[in-house]
Amino acid sequence: ETEALYCIGCGSLIQSDNPDGLGYVPTSALKKQVETKELYCKRCFRLRHYNEVSDVSLTDDDFLKILTQIGDADALIVNVIDIFDFSGSIIPGIQRYVGKNPILMVGNKEDLLPKSLKRTKLKDWIRQSANIVGLRPVDVALVSAGKNHGIATLLSLIEKYREGRDVYVVGVTNVGKSTLINQIIKQQTGISELITTSRFPGTTLDKIEIPLDDEHLLIDTPGIIHQHQMAHFLSGKELNIASPQKEIKPRVYQLNAGQTLFLGGLARFDYISGEKDGIVVYTDNNLMLHRTKLENADTLYAKHVGELLQPPSEETLKKIPELVRFEFKTAQKSDLVFSGLGWITIPTGAVVAGWAPKGVSVTIRRAMI
Ligand code: GDP
């Protein structure tokens, strides 16, 4: 006979199936915890013992409740995004909820950019992309939470824009929000214990609150799953190959019109017309690139995706939506951006097509380099 068990930290129903979900306790730890009557989910356990924040995914419903509460608050909103996955980083519907609250956008994973890329150009692009989806950030900051770059600057921007108010940190999963929160906790000296008592009303989750001054708090919110992130289609190992892990080393290909470049089996670039030119690819250094004739590309893909063209593996392939084609004509040197994967720099006056799994965006921007 099984009895429903609840975490004594956050009240979530205990489960051992989904490590990223609410109330997770590994089966190996469950028995001992029940015996000692110290039943904490993984997230609360880490928080209690290591002062370490780990992210959990929420149902859309719970997340909407939290967004509503943030909209009703008088606060600065810090929206963390992955600079390699802008469209996959946008919280669906966030524009409706922010209300009059200012948004500070934080582009994370800056350490992956080649040194030659001008950071101000990227910030401008983030701002423009935000405007297109109806967000008007008061400022854009670039950080590397993982490498601890730009955190002090970010903290001073937060101090500047919060104007004595609370701060809510929001983001979809995988953008590195937990890594960032943990860096902030490290840098804010004098925090011996995180405050985790008060819940977001109407949801299961406690808030993680970091004191900023005597009265105000920086509040971490749970990450929401964005359905159209490349990350959600892939296994952990494949994700390490598909999404950039180390500073990107540009790869140059001399392409003729009528040639195609496959990015593993996850995306495809067709050089339809244009001068023979050096096409520069900015993706994970280990992502396999495969060149072929455009006229053979469909057949090659149909025959070899999942084997020659990996990732995805044949197993993962079953979960990935079909590739969708987007065509562009360039009026200047441009980057074709595959959200979550990277980008390809193409010359002016070219006609190209970018293909990515349905839901994953392919966009064009002025070349960053
Ligand atoms: P969350 O789901 O938003 O809380 O994201 P995590 O903090 O768990 O990070 C997601 C992934 O991104 C992990 O594999 C991290 O190692 C990685 N990551 C986080 N911050 C950075 C960063 O600044 N640079 C790089 N290269 N990777 C990062």
> Mean pLDDT over residues 135-163, rounded?
96
Among residues of the chain, what percentage have pLDDT more than 90? Answer: 60
CA–centroid distance, 136 to ligand 1, in Å, is 25
> 289 vs 23, which has greater pLDDT?
289
Residue 143 Cα: closest atom of ligand 1? 23
Confidence of residue 199 (pLDDT cuts 50, 70, 90): low
The segment(s) of the chain belonging to CATH 3.40.50.300 are 57-226
Nearest CA to ligand 1 atom 6: 176
pLDDT reported for residue 346: 97
Confidence of residue 57 (pLDDT cuts 50, 70, 90): low
CA–centroid distance, 111 to ligand 1, in Å, is 11
pLDDT digits (tens, 9 = 90+) for 214-267: 788 899 887 777 777 888 788 888 989 999 999 999 999 999 999 999 999 999
CA–centroid distance, 229 to ligand 1, in Å, is 14
Ligand 1: residues with CB < 6 A are 55, 108-109, 111-112, 144-147, 171, 173-179, 223
Q: Residue 24: beta bridge partners?
A: 15
Nearest CA to ligand 1 atom 17: 176
> 287 vs 36, which has greater pLDDT?
287
Nearest CA to ligand 1 atom 24: 109
CA–centroid distance, 243 to ligand 1, in Å, is 11
Phi then psi for residue 231, to 5 deg, are -55, -30
Nearest CA to ligand 1 atom 7: 176
pLDDT reported for residue 178: 86
Confidence of residue 195 (pLDDT cuts 50, 70, 90): low
Q: Residue 365: beta bridge partners?
A: 335
CA–centroid distance, 116 to ligand 1, in Å, is 23
> Mean pLDDT over residues 170-188, rounded?
87
pLDDT reported for residue 193: 52
Q: Residue 368, Cβ neighbours under 10 Å: how many?
A: 21
What's the whole-number average pLDDT of the chain? 89
Residue 246 Cα: closest atom of ligand 1? 26
CA–centroid distance, 182 to ligand 1, in Å, is 11
pTM for this model (two decimals)? 0.88
CATH of domain 57-226: 3.40.50.300
Residue 172 Cα: closest atom of ligand 1? 3
Residue 108 Cα: closest atom of ligand 1? 23
User: ipTM for the complex?
Assistant: 0.99
CA–centroid distance, 179 to ligand 1, in Å, is 6
Geometric angle at alpha carbon 204, from 198 and 207, rounded to 5°: 35
CA–centroid distance, 176 to ligand 1, in Å, is 3
Exposed (0-12), middle (13-18) or buried (19+): which is 213, by Cβ within 10 Å?
A: exposed
> Mean pLDDT over residues 324-338, rounded?
97
- pLDDT above 80 (res 353): yes
- pLDDT above 60 (res 190): no
Residue 182 Cα: closest atom of ligand 1? 7
Strands 166-170 and 139-142: unpaired
Confidence of residue 1 (pLDDT cuts 50, 70, 90): very low
CA–centroid distance, 358 to ligand 1, in Å, is 24
pLDDT reported for residue 256: 95
CA–centroid distance, 278 to ligand 1, in Å, is 32
Least confident of 72-86, 165-179, 212-226, 335-349: 212-226
pLDDT digits (tens, 9 = 90+) for 80-119: 999 999 999 998 888 888 888 999 999 999 999 999 999 9
> 32 vs 270, which has greater pLDDT?
270
Mutate to test the pocket of ligand 1, among 83, 84, 174, 284 (most ligand atoms within 8 A of CB): 174
Confidence of residue 305 (pLDDT cuts 50, 70, 90): very high
pLDDT reported for residue 102: 96
Nearest CA to ligand 1 atom 5: 176
pLDDT reported for residue 208: 80
